[in-house]
Amino acid sequence: MFIELPNELEATLLALSLPAWTLDGPFLSRSTIEQYRAALTATPRFAETTSTLHHALAEEGYAVLRLGNLAKELGDDGRFLRLTTVFAAEVATPFSPFPRWTLWKNIGVNLGKDPGKSSGIGYNGFHMDLVNATLPPDYTTLLCVRPDPLGGGASILSDTHAAVARLTHSCRALLAESAYHYGSFFNMFAVGEEYKPFPVLSDHGFIRFTAKMLSRSDLEPKHAEAARELAGELVRGQVSFMLQPGDYLIVDQRRFLHGREALHPGQETVPVADRRLLLQLFLRAGTPAVGPCRRPTSARCPAESRQD
């Protein structure tokens, strides 16, 4: 579902000045959330828009807020990102599990990277972010700063539960076994411990799947085949769309997996400053508990999970 901001709300937001956020460990602080909410409580049609967003996420499992006009007017001076963070905080608590990113993580284009990775230029198959953590983010969100100027890189989503429902009983039984693994894991913020091996299907709502484990993990043949069948059903049921500048995609990870079509050939001809750029932010539902390493402003913590 694509959600357009009402004109009255856009006009008010353009004139609004919000303070810089503060963090409590890896989480957006409660004081910041309360400040932002207080500033917007009386804003015309803000409550209506957030209600529409909640409804879309509850009914569809994902939503795209169209914030392009705000992005165009405010540019990259920080005001636009703070306004986007306001909407994120109305869904759940924003946080960063990665030591080197304070809240939002850049996903640019690196021609030297593995093409299938998030910053690569190839097809990035369906996956759940932080698949090998015991407490993965409840929501993953992506803000489009610049789409691929050559026209590639469509976002893809697929309903995991619908895909699983189309599988045979024997296939589902194999996916429920703790026989899957992908990536390495280091101390992170607020995502629990390493989960290895893990079941694709569990009683906790998440369907732990990443297409990368089909080619980059040593799985038993029967478990690999079950995972391939699920991958096929995910592709069969996928939806795709192009994110435009200012589009903010929010995905409920308990219901949908996401990925990306390949960028258009010829990326080497695009100046670095013009290449596709997304910003990623994770959300934790409920009352967050601060993870194993609190984040003082100057602290350095161990490297993050390598599973991209």
Rounded to whole angstroms, the Cα distance separating 217 from 208 reads 14
Q: Residue 22: how many CB atoms within 10 A of its CB? A: 12
| Domain coverage including residue 276 | 2-284
Q: How far apart are the first and last CA of the chain?
A: 27
- For 161, the 3-state DSSP assignment is helix
3-state class percentages of the chain: helix first, strand second, coil last, to nearest 5: 30, 20, 50
Rounded to whole angstroms, the Cα distance separating 74 from 27 reads 25
Averaged confidence pLDDT in the chain: 91
In the chain, what is the greatest distance between 2 CA atoms, to the nearest angstrom?
59
Contacts of 290 (CB under 8 A, 6+ apart): 24, 25, 26, 27, 189, 190
The pLDDT value recorded for residue 308 is 65
Residue 87 located in a structural domain: yes
| Angle, alpha carbons 94-2-234 (nearest 5°) | 80
Q: Residue 288's pLDDT band (boundaries 50, 70, 90)?
A: low
| Position 289, amino acid | A
Residue 84 located in a structural domain: yes
Please check whether residue 123 is in contact with residue 116, taking contact to mean a CB–CB distance below 8 angstroms.
yes
Q: Residue 50's pLDDT band (boundaries 50, 70, 90)?
A: very high
CA-based radius of gyration for the chain: 19
Rounded to whole angstroms, the Cα distance separating 157 from 166 reads 17
| CATH number for 68 | 3.60.130.10
**Which pTM does this prediction carry?**
0.92
Residue 198 located in a structural domain: yes
Residue 257 located in a structural domain: yes
The number of distinct structural domains making up the chain is 1
Residue 269 located in a structural domain: yes
Residue 238 located in a structural domain: yes
Ranges assigned E (strand) in 116-178: 124-127, 139-146, 155-159
Please check whether residue 279 is in contact with residue 145, taking contact to mean a CB–CB distance below 8 angstroms.
yes
- Chain segment 51-97, per-residue pLDDT in tens: 999 999 999 999 999 999 999 999 887 999 999 999 999 999 999 99
- Chain segment 219-268, per-residue pLDDT in tens: 999 999 999 999 999 999 999 999 999 999 999 999 999 999 999 999 99
Distances in whole angstroms, Cα of residue 192 to Cα of each of 131, 217, 229, 290? 12, 22, 29, 10
Contacts of 16 (CB under 8 A, 6+ apart): 39, 40, 43, 83
Rounded to whole angstroms, the Cα distance separating 135 from 216 reads 22
The pLDDT value recorded for residue 301 is 35
The pLDDT value recorded for residue 21 is 96
Residue 81 located in a structural domain: yes
219-227 long-range contacts, CB within 8 A, separation 24+: 219/179, 219/180, 219/181, 220/179, 222/174, 223/174, 223/175, 223/177, 223/179, 223/180, 225/174, 226/167, 226/171, 226/174, 226/175, 226/200, 227/175, 227/180, 227/200
